[in-house]
Amino acid sequence: AQSVTQLDSQVPVFEEAPVELRCNYSSSVSVYLFWYVQYPNQGLQLLLKYLSGSTLVKGINGFEAEFNKSQTSFHLRKPSVHISDTAEYFCAAPPEAGSYQLTFGKGTKLSVIP
Amino acid sequence: EADIYQTPRYLVIGTGKKITLECSQTMGHDKMYWYQQDPGMELHLIHYSYGVNSTEKGDLSSESTVSRIRTEHFPLTLESARPSHTSQYLCASRQGNTEAFFGQGTRLTVV
């Protein structure tokens, strides 16, 4: 079964600086990949998704991610962060081909410093 | 805007009480899920359903039960709440392999 690994549990970054949140998945089969954001005491909100097609995916709030099959990665990037981006970010994917479940990474806490 | 609703948002209840957490979606999605999440931690799948009258246990063992009598409704029940059940419970739904939509969550505290 596929696992999803988020390499950083916490990422502090200054306001207006760029940020990259890393996500690696363990399988090389066809994948569907997702990034979600969770604000305090809220559910998860979809940032972006990769189902097929272009490997560069643009999402909401200025975020984008690049699917890299050779490196089995799906890193999330933003060129200039705002205070309001402070939240928990989760990478997700099906645990295996054909599964309708979603396996989530352990999350990365992004803290934007004024 | 996702149309999936969870009630209550917050619940404080005494040990031994029976509780039901409600989850409803108006999108007609066939697949629904319950996740348990401790503060600042990862999500653990505790129950899922791929359609009416279909329910399965997830990866994390849970003393809760679920039912799926209608497509739009997927309630979770704890027959006898204990302090170890204190957590946030997140409900989600999806259609096919598209993204999952999440409710706002229910934060449960058992005292």
pLDDT tens digit sequence for B27-73: 999 999 999 999 888 899 999 999 999 999 998 878 899 999 999 99
Position A9: which residue type?
S
Has residue A77 been placed in a domain? yes
| A29 contact B CB<8A | no
Q: Please indicate, yes or no, if residue A100 is contained in any of the structural domains.
A: no
pLDDT score for B41: 87
At A29 the pLDDT is 55
Residue A58, C-beta contacts closer than 8 angstroms, at least 6 positions apart: A48, A64
Q: What is the CATH number of the domain that holds B97?
A: 2.60.40.10
Token couple for A49: 């998704």
- Total of domains in chain B: 1
Q: d(Cα B92, Cα A65) in Å, to the nearest integer?
A: 23
In a domain, A90, yes or no: no
B42/A contact by beta carbon, under 8 A:
yes
User: What is the tally of structural domains in chain A?
Assistant: 1
The residues of chain A scoring below 70 in pLDDT are 1-2, 28-30
Interface test with A, best of B25, B89, B97 (most A CBs within 10 A): B97
A62: three-class secondary structure by DSSP: helix
Q: What is the extent of the structural domain holding A78? A: 4-84+105-113
- Does residue A91 sit within a domain? no
Q: What percent of chain A has pLDDT over 90?
A: 73
Can you give the pLDDT at residue B15? 97
DSSP character string of B38-86: -TTS-EEEEEEEEETTEEEE-SS--S-EE--SBTTB--EEESS--GGG-
Query: B53 is in which domain, residue-wise?
Result: 4-110
- How many angstroms separate the CA atoms of A23 and A108, rounded? 10
Query: In chain B, whose CA is at the least distance from the CA of A30?
Result: B97
Instruction: Report the C-alpha gap between B27 and B16 in whole angstroms.
Output: 35
